[in-house]
Amino acid sequence: MKKKYEYSLNDESLTTPYLYKWFVDPLLKITPYGLPANIITLFSNLMVLIAFIIVTMGYINDNYFLYWLVPILVFIYLVGDALDGRQARRTKTGSQLGEYFDHFLDSFVSGQTLGMLMMAYRVPYPFVVFIALYCGYLSQSSAFYERYFTNVMYFGKVGSGEGVIVMSLLILISPLKFMINFTNILPIFGIPLFYYILSILLLIPIKSAYYSVVRSQNLTKGFVIYALLNIVVVGLSSLLYPLTFSIVLITLFNVDYIQGLLISTGLKIKDKDCDFIVPTLIIALYLLYFDNLIVYYVLVGYLFIKISIRFIKYFKEFKHCWYWRNPKIEEVSVNK
């Protein structure tokens, strides 16, 4: 008999209690019982994608009139990201597929929110882009790494939720005149003070990553290799490609590794190694001074196909856990 699925969460977030009290729990009372948690997850993550498209188009067209929508869309995402878990427990439809689907989409959110912040301020310095995306993804991957070893998902007092809120507010005020002025004053070694402050703030997730590894009581060779190769991918992508291009490649590389952790957690198998092909080719491009975008599209296409194939395989493994409409309580199998 298969073991009943359980999801353990240790959430010490400062904002979560208020989010549940004022928004999630009242909303749960009017949420139709038949609405599946996975659909809530999909809808909430769609809000971040829309926000990302808004900021990307603003970055490309130098037009910021829709930036006021970003905090609203991000807030809807945060509420939905909490509501889906409540709905799954309420309807007893929690499953390995639901956990995987939720966290898999969350892995894209990290790249999207950090990318939006970089684009909103038109960050011209690769070292800032590196700190933002490397530290952000190291923190997130460490959290799933901890979950893999301890079977507990841990959120600290100041974590991803708080970070997303702060970033959305920074994006909101980025077009204002006082912020534009602030990003261009008090240069130190030719770089405005704002970018030093931003870099220091973006280093904070490193602390979360460290404690996640400590709590896991494991430091595998695979995770160390991932952390080192990610330096290569994030660093060289930031140097070789335009901002929007580097955000996409860095996001897909990290999603690929996180996806492996999520699959290993769900299937209870050995954790998968990170991809070697992408960092190897990027190093070769850098050493050969070869910046042809054809190779970039090949790398993005390769990662997209690899991620898609693994997603389909995992979905097929637990497809019985997917609902377009929740069944009645007595129809839900206890041991899936």
Give tens-digit pLDDT for 290-306: 667 888 999 999 999 99
Does the structural domain 8-331 have CATH classification 2.102.10.10?
no
pLDDT score of 31: 95
Percent residues over pLDDT 90 in the chain: 79
How high is the mean pLDDT of the chain?
A: 92
Task: State mean pLDDT over 320-327.
Answer: 90
Task: State mean pLDDT over 16-32.
Answer: 94
Kindly list the distances between the CA atom of residue 144 and the CA atoms of 18, 104, 228, 287, in Å, as whole numbers in the listed order: 25, 10, 18, 33
Q: Report the Cα 156 to chain-centroid distance in Å.
A: 16
Give tens-digit pLDDT for 195-219: 999 999 999 999 999 999 999 999 9
pLDDT score of 174: 94
Residue ranges of domains in the chain: 8-331
Q: Which of 63-67, 159-163, 259-263 has the lowest mean pLDDT?
A: 159-163
Which amino acid makes up residue 325?
A: R
Q: How far apart are CA 99 and CA 41, in angstroms?
A: 10
3-state helix, strand and coil shares in percent for the chain, rounded to the nearest 5: 70, 5, 25
Task: State mean pLDDT over 151-177.
Answer: 91
Give tens-digit pLDDT for 44-78: 999 999 999 999 999 999 989 899 999 999 999 99
pLDDT score of 3: 57
Fill in the DSSP letter of residue 20.
I
Task: State mean pLDDT over 106-125.
Answer: 96
Residue 334, pLDDT above cutoff 60: no
pLDDT score of 290: 67
Which amino acid makes up residue 37?
A: A
Report CA Rg, the chain: 20
- pTM, 2 dp: 0.93
Q: How far apart are CA 78 and CA 83, in angstroms?
A: 9
Grade residue 6 by pLDDT with cuts at 50, 70 and 90. confident
pLDDT score of 333: 46
Q: Report the Cα 86 to chain-centroid distance in Å.
A: 21
